[in-house]
Structure formats: structure tokens, C-alpha cells
Amino acid sequence: MEPTAPHAPAAAAGRPAAAHPGQHPGQHAAQQPSSEVSTSPAQGWHVSHLFYRFDRARLASLSPEVRAEGIRLFCEALDPAGPLAPTRLQTWLVPGHKADFGVMAMDPSPLKVDDVHQRLLAGPLGQALEATYSFVGLTEVSEYVPTVEQFGERLIVEGETRDSPTWKAKVQGYAGREDHMRRARLEPELPPWPNACFYPMNKKRKVGENWFSLPFAERSRLMAEHGRTGMTFGGRVTQLITVSVGLDDWEWGVTLWARRPEFLKEIVYTMRFDEASARYAEFGPFYTGYISTPAEVLAHCHVA
């Protein structure tokens, strides 16, 4: 999606807007209060991906009493059913040197999401934790997900006859799924699958490969092709796309959950042949995860 500029006071071309009474020329007018001021999005949730590594030397310096209390508070901070937990909270074991574990948190309130990070650092184990990577964003419904009306028009372009029994059946079927699809993107459930990965991505803005200079119809066509490829992995892989345009260094974040680890490899490899990915996508670091309880993370990392 393209970010839009906030509305500015109208001014004649080439002249600054008139100052308010008592305001010196060149001073900015006071911002008018909005009728809706909130840190929660009008729809959807804040999402943070957080990754950490244990500092073994500092862990070794903790007394048994401090270590035991730290373990208790660590598990409490990452308990998805805890009284202070955000709406969705998940912990991953992360293999390799990038991190020891990761946390995914979602909630309408950004402060409730960030509180998970703050509680981890504030606990006794916090002095032995190194934050290695974070990514923040919002859930959204992609602009390329058609409305019922747009879906019906697309069918006509593809050769269907308006108001034919086939056209009506397809449109009614899509209408029945649309609300569920939008809710699943804005307020997603976490699938009960053990394998996951996260990576950030951009769309290119290079000469000859500028996604944002393409007409909407062309971008929509490319994303429809990309979506059809993804749907072939239904029942094996679930994905969540979060938007970070204006919020973080990359434009989108992609989270994948899979029934088996090889499905992660297969979907990423297969979808890279789609033109939307092969020609226009840039990818950041990948973080592989295996869904675990906080206690399992501590045991695997030889902390508890």
C-alpha cells in the first residue's frame, strides 16, 4: 500500500497559509484536535516480533535465588493466559546464532504489546538478556483483497456473464467468506502448528522495477497470481502479513506457520517464482522458530 500524506490547511499556490490572529508569519498553526485520538488502530492490532539471546556469562553470575526468581518472572511474562498478557502471545525457540528465542505479541494497545518486552528486561533475568532484533507493525486487510463488488466485476472480466447462475453462486460464496477473511487478517488466531518463520520485506523502488509506479490494476493482477500460488499450500501453511510502512525499517512483515518444517521451505521457494516476488520483492533476515512454552525455552537454553 502507498502511504498518504496527512491533510494540510488549504493555501493559495505559492503562498503560505494565513496565520491565526496573534500568530507571527512563519509560525505553524496549532494542530486542530482530532475527533478520534487513540494509540489503538481503528481496526486491527499492533504486532511486535521480538528476538533475544541469553548472555551466558551474566547468567553464571546470578545467585541461585536470583536465578530462580528470574525464571519464575520470565515464565509469568510470557504466559499467554496471564492477567497482563496481550490478546495474542507466542514464544518461539530459535535455532542458530541470531537469537535463542523469539516472542510474537498482538493487541489493540501498543503499550500492552511492548509491556511484554519491558517485563522481560525488568525481571532478574533481564540483565542476562540481549535483545537482538525487533519488528513492529499493524495487522491490515490488503488493498488487493477485493470487495464483493470488485470480485463480481473481476468474474465478468474473466468471461462470466453478469447475473448468470454461475456468477451469482460465485459472488454469494465469496460474500460468505469475505467477512471471515477480513477478520482473520485483522484479528488473527494463532494456528496450533509447531513450525514458524518470520521475515521482513520491501517492494522495490528501482528504475525499471518500481512497484509503486505500476498502475493499481497491474499490481492487483500480480498479487492475485501470488495469492493463487499461496492457496495451493492451504492446510499446510498459514501466513500473516503485517504492514510496517511508516512504522519500521521494512514495509511489511511476513509470519508463516506450518504443519511440517519442509513446508516453510516449499512455500517460500515456490512463491519466489511469481513475478510479484521474483521481480519486485526484497527480503530481510529470516528467523526460524519452533513454538514452545517459556519453560521449554529455558530448558533448551540450559537456563533452568
Instruction: Please give the Cα distance from 164 to 158 (Å, whole number).
Output: 14
**pTM score of the predicted model:** 0.83
Report percent pLDDT > 70 for the chain.
88
Q: Is 179 helix (H, G, I), strand (E, B) or coil?
A: helix
Burial class (CB in 10 A: 0-12, 13-18, 19+), 175: middle
Q: Which among 55, 78, 48 has a CA at the least distance from the CA of 126?
A: 55
**Nearest alpha-carbon partner for 101 in 82, 83, 124, 77:** 77
**pLDDT of 2 over the 60 cut:** no
Q: How far apart are CA 295 and CA 290, in angstroms?
A: 14
Q: Quote the pLDDT of residue 144.
A: 82
Q: 104-149, pLDDT tens digit by residue?
A: 999 999 999 999 999 999 999 999 999 999 999 999 988 887 777 8
What's the CA gap between 118 and 5, in Å, rounded? Answer: 32
* Termini Cα distance of the chain: 45
Task: Work out the average pLDDT over 201-221.
Answer: 95
Per-domain residue ranges for the chain?
A: 46-139+291-300
pLDDT given at position 35: 61
Instruction: Give the pLDDT score at 143.
Output: 86
Catalogue the active-site residues.
199
Q: What is the pLDDT of residue 120?
A: 98
Name the more confident of 12 and 257: 257
The pLDDT assigned to 278 comes to: 96
Mean pLDDT score across all residues of the chain:
88
Q: What is the mean pLDDT of residues 63-67?
A: 97
Q: Identify the pLDDT of residue 267.
A: 97
In this prediction, residues 153-171 reach a mean pLDDT of 84
- Classify domain 46-139+291-300 by CATH number: 3.30.70.1030
Over residues 16-40, the pLDDT tens digits come to: 344 444 444 444 445 555 567 999 9
Neighbour-count burial of 172, counting CB atoms closer than 10 A to its CB (0-12 exposed, 13-18 middle, 19+ buried): exposed
Q: Residue 176 — pLDDT band, cuts 50, 70, 90?
A: confident
